[in-house]
Amino acid sequence: MKGLDIRPASLDEFAVAVEWAAQEGWNPGLDDLAAFHAADPEGFLMGFAGGEPVSSISVVRYGAEFGFLGFYIVRPGHRGLGAGMTTWNAGMAHLGDRVIGLDGVVAQQDNYRRSGFVLAGRNIRHTGVPKRMSAGSPGCEIRPVRVDDLSALAAYDRAHFPAGRDAFVTDWVLPADGTQRQSLVAIDDGRMVGYGTIRTCRTGYKIGSLFADRPEIAEALFAMLVETMPRQAEVSLDTPEDNAAAVAMAVRAGLAPVFETARMYRGPDPHLPLDRIFGITTFELG
């Protein structure tokens, strides 16, 4: 597309792309953007035509080896004119030769495949008004995150994600006052064995990350996070399809599948421990 100026967007500028995402039905969290943008301030690109924003893509770099792509949107009325491909190419250039992950809509798999991405699996969004479940006896302590948990929690997160993202995780689990997001950790004999985060969204709530060593720990975290919500509010949980225990937990809680994404990678599949991933962090940042 001629005359398209693509550049890193400021926090305020990229808020427009979050509104586009909401219009697409992606239901972003109310306080997602600050944590997202801080992960890689140069990685939130927008295309401007005549000074007006028409396209977006997030291409967050996690160190020198891995990046994640999201928020790939072209504003209606500007589609089919080349803005999407131009924006895509700028995003790929930002990530360079890193392994790249994305959670794309299934209908776009063939397009991503032509760009070198390979399907690794699917993530299924389960949504509904959850049953109030008992936390049971997970065999560990579950409590709110404390500052002295951060080192162990960041290490635990690194075991469930293709790269370290310590700064993002710190902001995610211990956000600034007034942020509508809270987290719990599971501790067994001084050792981190799980954590989960819940956040307020445009509609209802989302739970993610939800990582745990065992299904009973994941279910206890889920139950206690749900208890922080108003009754009759909807919650969404994005479960890897290949984690049968996660899918079963979501169904048992009264949630139903509403859509799925294709988790794809350009480069070697990091082979994450899906049996311990009960809810991915976000479709936008991985």
pLDDT digits (tens, 9 = 90+) for 13-63: 999 999 999 998 889 999 999 999 999 999 999 999 999 999 999 999 999
pLDDT at 135 over 90: no
Give the pLDDT of residue 74.
94
Is the CB of residue 13 less than 8 Å from the CB of residue 39? no
pLDDT digits (tens, 9 = 90+) for 180-233: 999 999 999 999 999 999 999 999 999 999 999 999 999 999 999 999 999 999
Give the pLDDT of residue 134.
76
Q: Which amino acid appears at position 273 of this protein?
A: P
Q: Which amino acid appears at position 136 of this protein?
A: G
pLDDT digits (tens, 9 = 90+) for 141-172: 999 999 999 999 999 999 999 999 999 999 99
pLDDT digits (tens, 9 = 90+) for 66-75: 999 999 999 9
Give the pLDDT of residue 81.
82
Give residues with Cβ within 8 angstroms of 61, minimum separation 6: 40, 43, 67, 94, 95, 98
Give the pLDDT of residue 132.
81
Q: Which residue would you say has higher pLDDT here, 80 or 192?
A: 192
Give the pLDDT of residue 196.
98
Is the CB of residue 156 less than 8 Å from the CB of residue 199? no
What is the pLDDT confidence band of residue 1, given thresholds at 50, 70 and 90? low
Number of C-alpha atoms within 13 angstroms, CB side, residue 221? 34
CA 9 to mean position of chain CA atoms: 20
157 SS3 class: helix
Domains in the chain with CATH codes: 4-121 (3.40.630.30), 125-279 (3.40.630.90)
82: left (phi over 0), alpha (psi -120 to 50) or beta: left
pLDDT digits (tens, 9 = 90+) for 233-280: 999 999 999 999 999 999 999 999 999 999 999 999 999 999 999 999
What value does the mean pLDDT take over residues 84-104? Answer: 96
pLDDT at 9 over 80: yes
pLDDT at 139 over 90: no
The rounded distance, in Å, linking the Cα atoms of 87 and 172 is 28
The pairing of beta strand 66-74 with beta strand 99-105: parallel
Give the pLDDT of residue 30.
95
In sign, the C-alpha dihedral spanning 168, 170, 172, 176 is negative
What value does the mean pLDDT take over residues 125-148? Answer: 91
Which has the closest alpha carbon to 44: 61, 31, 66? 61
Give strand pairing partners of 205.
200, 235
Give residues with Cβ within 8 angstroms of 275, minimum separation 6: 243, 245
Give the pLDDT of residue 168.
96
pLDDT at 2 over 80: no
Tokens coding 198:
């819940």
Q: Three-state secondary structure along 163-222?
A: CCCHHHHHHHHCCCCCCCEEEEEEEECCEEEEEEEEEEECCCEEEEEEEECCHHHHHHHH
